[in-house]
Structure 1
Amino acid sequence: MTIKTIIAIIILALSFTVSLGQSIDEKRMDRDLKIAENILNTLSSGDSRLRFSSNIESNYMPDYGVIFSIPKVNYIYATRASGTTIYSGSGNYVIATADDEDSDDGDGVAVVVDDAKKLDKNKEKMEEEAKKQLEEQMTVFLVDYADLIGQLKPSDRIVVQSRGNDNRIFYSGSNSGSKQSTFTAQIFKSDLIAYKQGKMNREDVIKKITFTTPEESKEIAKDLELFATIFARLYEPDLSSTYYISSRTLGYTSLEGYGVTFNMKLYSSTSDKGLHTIRTTGESGLTQEARNEKVNAMYPEFEKAFKENLMDYGRTIKSLKADETLVMKVKLTECRGCDMPEEIEVSVKGKTLQSYDRGSISRDEAVKQIIVKRKDR
């Protein structure tokens, strides 16, 4: 055996050992993320005026870290009738009168306004207070609890992002169209390690948290908006042959260095007096059992077409970098007792989309590089 051969064997053995050391126990990671989600929910309770819905989502991304997405709902209802404003922190109304202008029962903040100028002023005040409290809750989570997520490398990030597109401001019963900015907090695992080892105090590690409001720092990429409308159009009932979407666009969040995640909710049928109609095929008068059988049978065709559509239209996202990822998180139609997944996460690297767009690889080759993660029912 030659020296070169021996060296090659040693290098191969070492690389194999390293790859084993970097493997992730997915069951343990899933457990840690669910515990972390529960902590985020708990931090938003008590006397907080912010309410996170229970639908907090988390994802571990190899070579990037962990992302928590908070669909924060923070509704404000207001009317000038009798000088009264109603504010709802989570669907619970708090009504203020002239006698209790400063009242606050912990479920929301109620303020009295008697003209439009005061209404706008109080709106801004409430939005600023909500943002401040969100920053405080993110800070507590990242500094005190994020290190509970095991298996992360020092270079990995822990990111908490509020999905601002779930926030709405209403006045006098009509949607004003105002949105609070998407807000993101991020820290590196290495900073938490240094803090736990006593190499940094609490004030120092808090300074390591990066807070960003994408809408304030840069314009939303037009190609993301365009893709959101294109992909939604593909899954309207008249174009889709399987499942369909009920909205004309898709919600999404983006993170520099990671990529963009789009969210979809798909449906398959309507019902009337216990009988079902599959809208994309026109079949009607179906029992629940017959409906489920047909909807379940659609899934292989849906997944195949979905990956092809993602490749054909995902390449229109020119702002996605080669090392970033396009992710589609899809909640599938209800189908009790069916074999089809409850949710899927479909992802592809920017470099794959770019290679296909340039003609460097075929569509079939590109589709094979798409990753599909399925969540069973």
Structure 2
Amino acid sequence: MKRVTILIGMMLLAAVAAVQAQKVDEERMQRDVEVAENILSTLIKQQFEGQRMFFPVNISGSYQPGFGVTFRLPMDFSSPMVIGQGFTFEREPYVYTIPSRDGADVQITTRAEAPRKDDMRLKTRVEINTDSLHQAQNTRVIEAVKVFIADYGDLLSQLPANEKVLITNQGDYGRKWGVLIRSGQNVKRTHLSVEALKSDMTQYKQGKISRDQMMAKIKVVNTEAVDEVAPDLELLSSIFGRLYRSDLSKTYFAEDYITFEQLKDFGVIYYMNVYSSNRVGPETHAMPTLGLNNLSQEERNKKVIELYPAFEKDIKSNIVDYGRTVKSLKDEEMLVVNVRLTTCEKCGIPSTVEFSIKAAELKAFDSGKIDKATAISKVNVKQGPKQ
């Protein structure tokens, strides 16, 4: 009996030690991520030394167990920077009113001022150079990111070998617009993503692979939204919008339009915001997809947690069933659905989740080369930070 008591005590001590060690690991991971944010920001700034930069390079990093560390660049970072030259403002005619001494109002209209020839030439030159400037800036950012991964990625000491470091200009729930407005010009959104495995970084640091080999292992996506969107992509947006209305969905529902952007040589990304309930009183909720009313916050949160596995299973099935209607994507291009999930504080469900599958897999399912279960298994799921 005494021996059993001792064994139980040892097991409890080991469990406590494991919990404490895990806490230390988490604290170290957070510290490593914050240091890495600073290093990456500095490397990017150094790429643009000598230029006038009118934006901060604020980078946010986060760790997701099972995936790795994601560093997010500012949302509009990859858009052309305003250098401060070559932009003109054309004066339009306008009317203003002044009171006269006798009390009557007098209206004065100014004349429009025609742009000077030099201004017109500058404007034309800026429009011509926008694309090349954009690409040059992205190239510099990618170079800084690759140096960061190769030379400093191993500073993320707590990151497991099978997880990755990802640097992207996509927000945690994606984007809703394919065009930016900058100084009177339409500027296309870009999709920038650079990633590498921790194991490759370790091998490079240990001298097992060369720098050229390390650079070759870094995956880079650098593309932009296309001008003309394929009709079948718009149709799929409409289909998902109908499937996830509260009268059809059995899990979470969407009230907003399902926005999307088609990216050159990458594929398409759909953006969804999904909800679980409507507030019907100060402390009560209704869940229309379940037909439940007058739920307390605790009851509502419990149902939200229960619905998440069903939602994930359902949307994977829908991606396969309806994604196969898309014919405009090339085999190697991706169909991605980026979802921002219903708010549920301290529920443990993800705040965001991303589903992706290659167009080739959807085509194989559509032609009968693979069955539905196999196609669903090809859908990759990436969960964001827990709520």
TM tier, shorter chain? 0.5 to 0.7
Give the secondary-structure state (helix, strand or coil) at the position aligned to 2:248. Answer: coil
SS of 1:313 mapped into structure 2: helix
In the alignment, the residues of structure 1 paired with residue 33 and residue 43 of structure 2 have an alpha-carbon distance, to the nearest angstrom, of 15
**What 5-or-longer segments of structure 2 have no aligned partner?**
1-25, 47-51, 93-114
**Alpha carbons of 1:115 and 1:341: their partners in 2 closer, same or farther (altered >3 Å)?**
same
Choose the corresponding residue for 2:323, options 314, 325, 336. 314
Aligned positions, number = 303
What value does the CA root-mean-square deviation take over the aligned residues? 5.6
Pairing 1:216-365 to 2, within 5 Å after superposition: 219-252=228-261, 254=263, 256=265, 259-271=267-279, 272-281=281-290, 283-365=292-374
Output the CA distance in 2 between the equivalents of 1:179 and 1:358.
Answer: 39
Match of 1:285, SS state, is strand
Q: Deviations over 1:180-217 (max 9, x none)?
A: 34265879999xx8xx99999xxxx9xxx99965457x
Match of 1:115 among 81, 91, 95: 91
Change (3 A) 1:157 1:269: closer
Q: TM-score, normalised by structure 1?
A: 0.56
1:231-255 deviations in whole A, cap 9, x for unaligned?
A: 2332233432221234312334646
Identity of aligned residues (%): 30
Q: Distance in 2 between matches of 1:211 and 1:326?
A: 15
What corresponds to 1:148 in structure 2?
A: 152
The equivalent residue for 1:8 is none
2:256 & 2:57 partners in 1: Cα distance? 23
Normalised to the residue count of structure 2, the TM-score between the two structures is: 0.55
Deviation at 1:359, TM superposition (A): 2.3
Q: How does 1:1-377 map to 2 (within 5 A)?
A: 39-41=39-41, 48-51=53-56, 70=73, 72-73=75-76, 113=89, 115=91, 121=123, 135-143=139-147, 146-149=150-153, 165=177, 168-169=180-181, 178-182=186-190, 184=192, 214-215=224-225, 219-252=228-261, 254=263, 256=265, 259-271=267-279, 272-281=281-290, 283-375=292-384, 376-377=386-387
Counterpart AA for 1:270:
N
Q: Deviations over 1:251-294 (max 9, x none)?
A: 346463x6544443322223342332334345333221121112
Larger radius of gyration: 2
Q: Return the letter of the residue paired with 1:73.
A: D
Indicate if the aligned counterparts of 2:260 and 2:268 stay in contact, CA closer than 8 A.
no
Q: Does the aligned pair in 1 maintain the 2:188–2:225 contact within 8 Å?
A: no
CA distance in 1, matches of 2:34, 2:321: 35
How far off its partner does 1:309 sit?
0.5
Give the partner amino acid of 2:368: G
- Cα distance 1:58–1:184, how it changes in 2: closer, same or farther (>3 A)? farther
Name 1:84's counterpart in structure 2: none
